[in-house]
Amino acid sequence: MKILAIETSCDDTGVAILEIRGDKKPVFNVLSNIVSSQLIHKNYGGVFPIMAKREHQINLPIVLEQALKESKLLIPNSQFPLAHKTSRRLISDEKIKILKKILEKENTLFESVKEFLEKYKKPSVDFIAVTVGPGLEPCLWVGVNFAKALSYFWGIPVIPVNHIEAHILVNFLNPSTTLRARNPKREFPAISLVVSGGHTQLILVKGIGKYKIIGETRDDAAGECFDKAAKILGLGYPGGPIIAEIVSKANNPPRPIKLPRPMMHSGDYDFSFSGLKTAILYAVKGKTLNEQTVEEMCVEIQQAIIDVLLHKTIKAAKDFKAKTIILGGGVSANQELRKQLAQKIKKEIPNTQYLIPDTALSTDNALMIAITAFFHKNKKASWKTLKAKANLRVGN
């Protein structure tokens, strides 16, 4: 079975193709996983949804072509060059009308999709998977409508995917862990910490598809805090990897700045990071920032975020007697977070299994959407019913 997956929930345009062999003991073979990160947002220190929507429209057909090519599934339509020269129609008026209707809010995408469908034959894939939420509404709709157009034209069913669940299930890519996942007694219950630019959630995972959000941020997400802190320090966007890089090069700098660890001992599983951002603003107010002070700030900012995340995750794992801790989301690319969580698990709950994605799969990508779709292939639907849901949640 092959799944073609599409991801456009924020500022990364992704298309991946995953081949799955076997059902009870599936073996995953990644045929392609193309991510085009939109550089335009670097200039603004954050993502502007309307700009991101425009970029997705430009990127999607290019990324799809690349993904199909890399998977050896891109088959040119031999009639295209001649038809193109003589203006002969390869798609009927009726089909053009429906495609136009599907992409009525993405008119630049309509033109390139039309050309793509004329130029290439239907690829041999069984399902089209697409992120329907949560995410930035205009961005989600581009991916959803793109998936609808392909699904309608090629007659391939679609599987709607929850982006947060995908950050969790990307951890089951490795065949050995996938096999373990088929033995719920060994894997679950699990506690998953999903930390991204838009979300910070602690999720009780009772099994694949069985979730309960036990805690989440009441204001900013952890990744958002990294991004806002980097903006205050004039470091650029996205802030997480920039701050992490500065910290990794800092050689035990003095730590004169002390930042708060908001809600660390609140007794529940919720988070709050906006106070940390305010504390950073006050800490730099009136100061001239030089290389050393920026370094000191970055070390403290990263550690403050990590301390809170670790404390709550370990508490949740203990309280719910978790057999596994699963990390996911863009912030999980942070090496210090990965390392310190591993150390804390080893020290405090050594029998707990610890799953982390490949660093490249921590941040947004379409492969995680394909993996999640595989676990939910029974949710396949007609393109007609597909909708973007910006505030979609897991479980509950």
Which of residues 114, 364, 367, 375 is near Zn ion by CB under 5 A? 364
**Cα–Cα distance between 327 and 348 in angstroms, integer?**
17
Would you give the DSSP letter of residue 379?
A: G
Nearer to Zn ion, 196 or 201 (CB): 196
Report the residue closest to Zn ion, judged by CB: 196
**Cα–Cα distance between 188 and 318 in angstroms, integer?**
13
Which residues, 318 to 357, sit near ligand KG4 by CB under 6 A? 329-331, 333-334
Which of residues 4, 10, 52, 308 is near ligand KG4 by CB under 6 A? 10
Nearer to ligand KG4, 102 or 259 (CB): 259
Which does residue 61 touch among Zn ion, ligand KG4, none (CB within 5 to 8 A, set by kind)?
none
Least separation in angstroms between CB 56 and Zn ion: 15
Among 211, 175, 174, 176, residue whose Cα is nearest residue 194 = 211
Q: Give yes or no for a cis peptide into 350 (omega within 30° of 0).
A: no
197 near ligand KG4 (CB under 6 A): yes
Least separation in angstroms between CB 228 and ligand KG4: 9
Pairing mode of beta strands 158-162, 12-21: unpaired
133 near ligand KG4 (CB under 6 A): no
Which does residue 271 touch among ligand KG4, Zn ion, none (CB within 5 to 8 A, set by kind)?
none
Least separation in angstroms between CB 144 and ligand KG4: 16
Which of residues 68, 133, 364, 371 is near ligand KG4 by CB under 6 A? 364
Which does residue 239 touch among ligand KG4, Zn ion, none (CB within 5 to 8 A, set by kind)?
ligand KG4
Which residues, 195 to 234, sit near Zn ion by CB under 5 A? 196
**Cα–Cα distance between 229 and 40 in angstroms, integer?**
20
Q: Tokens 């995340």 belong to which residue? A: 309
169 near ligand KG4 (CB under 6 A): no
Least separation in angstroms between CB 330 and Zn ion: 6
Pairing mode of beta strands 2-7, 127-133: parallel
Within a 10 A sphere around the Cβ of 362, how many other Cβ atoms?
25
CB crowding 326-354: b at 16 or more within 10 Å, else e:
bbbbbbbbbeebbebbeebbeeebeebeb
Nearer to ligand KG4, 32 or 363 (CB): 363
Binding mask 211-230 for ligand KG4 (x = CB under 6 A): ------------xx-xx---
CB crowding 3-41: b at 16 or more within 10 Å, else e:
bbbbbbbbbbbbbbbbbbeeeeebebebbbbbbbbbeeb
**Cα–Cα distance between 120 and 113 in angstroms, integer?**
11
Residues that bind Zn ion (CB under 5 A): 196, 364
Residues that bind ligand KG4 (CB under 6 A): 10, 196-198, 223-224, 226-227, 238-241, 244, 329-331, 333-334, 363-364
